[in-house]
Amino acid sequence: MGKPTGFLDYAREENPAIEPLVRIENFNEFHPPLDREHRQKQGARCMNCGVPFCQSCVQLAGMYSGCPLHNLIPEWNDMIYRGNWEHALARLCKTASFPEFTGRVCPGLCMAACTCGANGDPVTVKENELALIEYGYENHLIQPRIPEIRTDKKIAVVGSGPSGMATADLLNRRGHNVTVYERFDRVGGLMMYGIPNMKLEKQYIDRRVNLMKQEGVTFVTNADIGNTIPAQELLDSYDAVVLCCGASNPRDLNNPGRDANGIYFAVDFLRANTKSLLDSNLTDGKNISAKGKHV
Ligand code: SF4
Ligand code: SF4
């Protein structure tokens, strides 16, 4: 384990937050990372539990607890503490396709399950994960993993959100020839247009997509399967088709006043505003503005 008394010696310390009056001046992320020394202490807080509930992903009373990816959390916490970041990163990438996304926007089931949290504050697993992957990019340790052998199988993935991208990544690593179809103009699905920029800046999606392109994955945007491209065309052209379409149909409410002006579904609101931000820095007039309104 890291430091046997780490969880007693060091308090949980999260990434700081930029002051509200400063961060409202832009739409960027506002949690700058801790420095290496402080991150090391956060790694030291991990107790390397005999039963690491953080990485278990077990079903309890119909609900899941612990990391759905079975990330090797105690291992990389220990290596963060010891300063062996490169090895920690390798162990993280063993199970996680996109730590730069989960390290930013995962709900953090690991921390809800962390034993340290039973009688205090859980280990900062999610932020440790993010620190590791960004260390990897900064130090050019994240390089395209091009499969040595290609099969002759062609696979279409419909949808380029997190499930579509992860499916494409894993199939490509096994040597299959993967094409991902996305109905909108940018790759990323809900990560691109359903999560606001201040939680996940979009250059991080582009960074990963470029890496996947170098690894051999093909992305086709503005391709609405079933509309602009017939589904049969995919069935005829590929050995397998994987549907990763997500669930973007909103659940409506049948309440009095529902038909009033100015009521939007969340994803419509987020998509319009993120697209306008990315296309024109909100100058194209296509965003939904709540400026000056009671919300
Ligand atoms: S934050 Fe990372 S380690 Fe925690 S549950 Fe999500 S993917 Fe797993
Ligand atoms: S449950 Fe918490 S303290 Fe235990 S191994 Fe996992 S992260 Fe470390």
pLDDT digits (tens, 9 = 90+) for 32-61: 999 999 999 999 999 999 999 999 999 989
Residue range 169-174: mean pLDDT, rounded: 98
**Pocket around ligand 1: residues whose beta carbon is below 6 Å from it?**
67, 69, 71, 73, 102, 106, 108-110, 125-126, 129
Q: Domain coordinates of the chain in residue numbers?
A: 6-138, 154-243
Q: What pLDDT is attached to residue 2? A: 73
DSSP-derived 3-state class of residue 110: helix
CATH topology assigned to domain 6-138: Fumarate Reductase Iron-sulfur Protein; Chain B, domain 2 (1.10.1060)
Which residues partner with 218 through β-bridges?
A: 179
Q: What pLDDT is attached to residue 187? A: 98
Residue range 148-171: mean pLDDT, rounded: 97
Q: Between 202 and 262, whose confidence is greater?
A: 202
Structure tokens given for 138: 């900064």
Residue 290 has pLDDT above 90, yes or no: no
Cβ-proximal residues to 289 (8 Å cutoff; 6+ apart), any chain:
none
Measured CA to CA, the distance from residue 72 to residue 216 in angstroms comes to: 27
Query: What phi-psi label fits residue 169: left (phi over 0), alpha (psi between -120 and 50 degrees) or beta?
Result: alpha
Q: What length is written for the chain?
A: 295
Residue range 8-14: mean pLDDT, rounded: 96
Residue 200 alpha carbon to ligand 1 centre in Å: 15
Residues 193-250: tens digit of each pLDDT: 999 999 999 999 999 999 999 999 999 999 999 999 999 999 999 999 999 998 778 8
Q: What pLDDT is attached to residue 247? A: 79
Q: How many other CB atoms are there within 10 angstroms of residue 194's CB atom? A: 17
Going by alpha carbons, the residue nearest to atom 7 of ligand 1 is: 102
Residue 1 has pLDDT above 80, yes or no: no
Mutation to probe ligand 1, out of 125, 128, 132, 163 (largest number of atoms < 8 A from CB): 125
Measured CA to CA, the distance from residue 16 to residue 22 in angstroms comes to: 13
**Pocket around ligand 2: residues whose beta carbon is below 6 Å from it?**
46-49, 52-54, 73-74, 77, 114-116, 123, 125
- Mean pLDDT computed over every residue of the chain: 96
Cβ-proximal residues to 194 (8 Å cutoff; 6+ apart), any chain:
248, 267, 270, 271
Q: What pLDDT is attached to residue 71? A: 98
Domain spanning 154-243: which CATH class is it, in words?
Answer: alpha beta
Closest to 161 measured CA to CA, from 196, 209, 127, 129: 209
Q: What pLDDT is attached to residue 295? A: 85
Structure tokens given for 128: 């440790």
Residue 74 alpha carbon to ligand 2 centre in Å: 6
Residues 48-107: tens digit of each pLDDT: 999 999 999 999 899 999 999 999 999 999 999 999 999 999 999 999 999 999 999 999
Structure tokens given for 83: 């300063």
Which residues partner with 60 through β-bridges?
A: 63
Closest to 190 measured CA to CA, from 225, 209, 162: 162
Measured CA to CA, the distance from residue 274 to residue 192 in angstroms comes to: 8
